[in-house]
Amino acid sequence: MTDFLIESGIAALTGLIAALCVSVASALFYPSLRKMVSRSAPAFQSIFLMVLAAVPIGAFPGMTAASLWWTFRGGVISDHCHVPASSTACFPHAPVETHLLAPGVFVALGVALCALVALEFSGLAARSRQRKRVLHACSREDMRGRRILETDRPVALTAGLWRPEIYISQGLKRRLGTDELRVVMHHENAHAARYDSLSFAMAAALSRAHFPSVRRQLLADLHLSHERACDEAAAHRIGDRLCVAATILRIERMNAAGGETRHCQMGITGGSVPARVEALMGAAKARSPVDLATSSLYALAIPIALALAAEPLHSAVEFVFSNLPG
């Protein structure tokens, strides 16, 4: 049992170091990655940024499991070697012996990190449920099944993580024309079909292992990619990209005239409106072979890098543990 706890502590520390290294790498390379990904289709951007948000936190269990595999691959915790037994560089050794406090601390830190992510997501889910209950209580269902908010404020949004519903205000419905209302509904229907609220909440929780500045920028970029993907979906259904851009600008002007602040705006006027309108003024971006090759490369590079780093990092951590006093 003691050997198990010690080796688990070594594996947990290995995973924590890997998560820190990935966080540092993300901070260094995200500006260049951001420029590269911004040239691709919004739907691809959403997937890429969602995966990138989860990489550091995912490195912890991945590297921890890989480190434990190096120890347990013989089926027991006993003398083990970190290279094939046929190699002359193989020096079998017993699990390191050290005070249980040190490995216990790292196991606790790993558990705390996972618990932080779980609590973050559960908190976001609870706030989403509360918000949806309030919206439901303040709205009525019209003949088309839409939830109509009894307010003059220009509001159109999708609420709910698991069962998203679309809400549109009476004031916005009254002020917009038929084609503009179609743009709004197609945009919000795209949010609901893509489960953007759920994916954003997951990204917000899983990105906790990033540095704060990187996390803020990454989540802002993810939000913008969600909005742009829904803009493209609405433009495809309407068949007029300029109509979508004009509708977004008109609702933005309504918000500005009503004194709405940027952080209070939700739904169709979310994200950076100038960037969205500029994108709609240009041609639609289709997913290219370069996008697929890039995403495949990163999808393969991360697990390969972790697998290659597991053994030397595990050995280095064991060396540190074996030389701890006491």
Cα angle, residue 122 at apex, residues 120 and 123 outer, rounded to 5°: 65
The Cα 170–Cα 17 span in angstroms is: 53
pLDDT tops 60 at residue 3: no
pLDDT tops 70 at residue 320: no
Residue 145 has a pLDDT of 74
- What is the per-residue pLDDT across 190-205, written as a single tens digit (0 to 9) for each? 999 999 999 999 999 9
287: pLDDT confidence band, cut at 50, 70 and 90?
low
CB 38 within 8 A of CB 5: no
Rounded to the nearest integer, the mean pLDDT of the chain is: 78
pLDDT tops 80 at residue 70: no
Residue predicted with more confidence, 161 or 95? 161
Strands (E), the chain: 139-141, 147-149, 156-159, 165-169
State both tokens at 9: 């502590």
Domain ranges of the chain: 2-73+100-322
Mean pLDDT across the stretch 63-88? 57
The SS3 assignment for 154 reads coil
Cα-only R_g, the chain: 25
The Cα 293–Cα 317 span in angstroms is: 35
Residue 100 has a pLDDT of 44
Residue type, 142: D
Mean pLDDT across the stretch 170-177? 91
Find residue 211's DSSP bridge partners. none
Residue 261 has a pLDDT of 42
In this prediction, what percent of the chain has a pLDDT beyond 90? Answer: 33
The Cα 287–Cα 289 span in angstroms is: 7
Mean pLDDT across the stretch 149-167? 90
Residue 76 has a pLDDT of 38
When mean pLDDT is compared over 5-9, 76-80, 97-101, 251-255, the highest value belongs to 251-255
Residue 74 has a pLDDT of 46
The SS3 assignment for 311 reads helix
pLDDT tops 50 at residue 264: no
CB 19 within 8 A of CB 209: yes
Residue 119 has a pLDDT of 92
101: pLDDT confidence band, cut at 50, 70 and 90?
very low
Q: DSSP letter at 147?
A: E
- Residue 67 C-alpha from the chain's centroid: 25
CB 251 within 8 A of CB 268: yes
pLDDT tops 60 at residue 181: yes
pLDDT tops 90 at residue 293: no
Q: For tokens 């490369």, name the residue.
A: 297
pLDDT tops 80 at residue 166: yes
Of 178, 152, 156, 154, the closest CA to residue 167 belongs to 156
Q: Quick check: pTM over 0.85?
A: no
Annotate 68-112 with DSSP letters as a single string.
HHHHHTTSSSSSB-SS-TTSTT---BPPP---THHHHHHHHHHHH
User: What does residue 170 show for φ and ψ, rounded to 5 degrees?
Assistant: -60, -35
Q: What would you measure as the largest C-alpha separation in the chain, in angstroms?
A: 80
CB 273 within 8 A of CB 252: yes
Residue 37 has a pLDDT of 80
